[in-house]
Chains A and B, each alone.
Chain A
Amino acid sequence: MTTRELSGRIDIEHLSLYLGEEKNRLEALHDLSFTVTPGEFICILGPSGCGKSTLLGMLAGHLRHSSGTLLVDDRTIDGPSPERGLVFQHPTLLPWRNVLDNVAFGLKMRGTNKADRHRQAREILDLVGLGDVTQCWPSQLSGGMQQRVEIARVLINQPRLLLMDEPFGALDAQTRLNMQELLLHLWNHICTTVVFVTHDIDEALFLADRVLVMSPRPGRILEELNLDFPRPRSTQLMTNTRFARLKRHCFDLLRHEENRQPHPAFLNLPGKRHSETFTTPRITL
């Protein structure tokens, strides 16, 4: 990967988002303000339904905000772009393309010739440790491997922002740890800004430079935690006492929010009852 001048700054001011129409209109995000500096790794931590994925959808360009400003490198967002790569929880590889062509997809869209795009795709597949499965169909790979292909496919576009929506949420515990370490290793290589959404406290504390803890409905930022754990980090960090204290703190924050009275706007929601819409943050002790 060639190094570029650092870009990928995010400026968010008084950002709000309403979803639905008139009577069913509800506030999904309430008055968010924060800045992400180029090359920073931030995690957005919050329970399901707090609007964290929605925020990511706006950064990706799939959704538009209702009020406030949202700037990436001083420009407004008008639609999806390969400069803002998005990784979903479940892989969205094209089933009819082998691993190599899936990774090379972004370059093909830019008109790179076949030899070049295959060479670059091989390089990046080596980087994620999948140099030996380039000719497989996605369906022949395990969930963790598919997710690595997914990440390689986004990184080949050299995005300013890497947006990750609970990308390891569907993986087993051991694979998840490996993927977290791999992600930090990659991030070290490519120096891109990462916005990583998760409901897993351990994951957020392990990965991020900074954690934004969000409350549900409407989504607001409860607290900002700066993490100065030295890098490179290893899984040993998770048994560190300061780590444990921070985890306790996050857990209390989220639990306090969970027991809070529901926001009036959500009392008449059809479907699931309010108390069921939250997932207790998973903690592994």
Chain B
Amino acid sequence: MRANYPLTCRWALRFASVAACLLFWQIASTHHLTFDLITFEHVPTPMSVLEAAWALLQSNKLLQHLSSSLSRVFSGYLMAALVGMALGLAIGRWHRAEDLLLPPLELLRPIPAVAWIPLAILMFPSSELSMIFITFTGALFPILLNTIHGVEAIDKRLIASAHSLGAKPAAILREVILPGAAPSIVTGLAIGMGTSWFCLVTAEMISGQFGIGYYTWESYVIQNYPDVVVGMLLIGLLGMGSSALVKHLGALATPWYRTQGKTA
């Protein structure tokens, strides 16, 4: 059960939650708190992070970092969306496709992005392509699995009645299967967007001069810790923003679905 309370209260609570995290960070880093296993001794303070962020903003390199990362994430993500949805539809619809395609995919699924680095470098002619490939692997599986789930969860009676009303297989795919699986596909696309950013640092460890992931890793190597946190926060913000964008577009594409969701 979710209680309904005013929207302003909900937003106040959301901000308070973020503020509490910031406050804890401030206290822990300025007082160099040390617990048993974890120490905040070398963690940069929020102020130093803010200064580093300001410096990055002034240095006009931010735009280059952002555009390189965005283009990598979005190319990998778009490829993953196309491949994931196409394979997911086939696997969810036909047993033969499931037997043929799913076993190798299930085998590849647990392999983390970082383990792909050597092969990605060997397989692709340019480092740019291998970086795109890594973000692709991150986004592929959530999209694929949610598409399969969405297709398999469609009420079989809907397909039977569409058939009875004169729908041919292509029309059933277009009119019943795709829209029926759409809410689940949207969920997969939103999660995939997040995991795609997740793999960005890994991908940009390969090489490069630009990119938020590269910036983060480089800052660590040269022991510029406030910059590391700036990079982390940027990835968090961009990932959150693009996931929200995907969810919003998804909601626009599935208007019937909102009416049966929980009332905000």
Contacts and interface: CB of A to CB of B under 8 A. Distances in A.
A179 interface: no
B166 A106 contact: yes
Contact of B166 (A97, A137, A140, A157): A157
Given A86-B164, A105-B162, A157-B166, A92 B157 contact: yes
B171 to A, nearest CB: 6
A105 B158 contact: no
Contacts of A92: 155, 157-158, 160-161
16 contacts: A80-B160, A82-B166, A84-B164, A85-B164, A90-B157, A92-B157, A92-B161, A94-B176, A95-B256, A95-B257, A96-B254, A96-B257, A97-B256, A109-B165, A139-B256, A140-B259
A85 B157 CA distance: 14
Contacts of B176: 94
Nearest to B168: A109
B155 to A, nearest CB: 7
B163 interface: yes
Given A82-B166, A105-B175, A109-B171, A88 B161 contact: yes
Contact of A81 (B157, B160, B166, B179): B166
Contacts of B182: 96
A110 B166 CA distance: 7
B259 A137 contact: yes
Contact of B157 (A82, A88, A97): A88
Listed residue (A61, A95, A110, A153) with the most chain B CB atoms within 10 angstroms of its CB: A95
Size band of the interface chain A makes with B = 20 to 34
A201 interface: no
Most buried by B among A81, A105, A139: A105
B259 A94 contact: no
A96 B168 contact: no
Contact of A94 (B164, B166, B175): B175
B83 interface: no
B62 interface: no
A62 B175 CA distance: 20
A80 B175 contact: no
Given A81-B166, A137-B259, 19 more contacts: A60-B164, A61-B164, A80-B163, A81-B164, A86-B161, A94-B158, A94-B175, A95-B257, A96-B180, A96-B257, A106-B165, A106-B166, A109-B167, A109-B168, A109-B171, A110-B166, A139-B259, A157-B165, A157-B166
A157 B256 CA distance: 25
B260 interface: yes
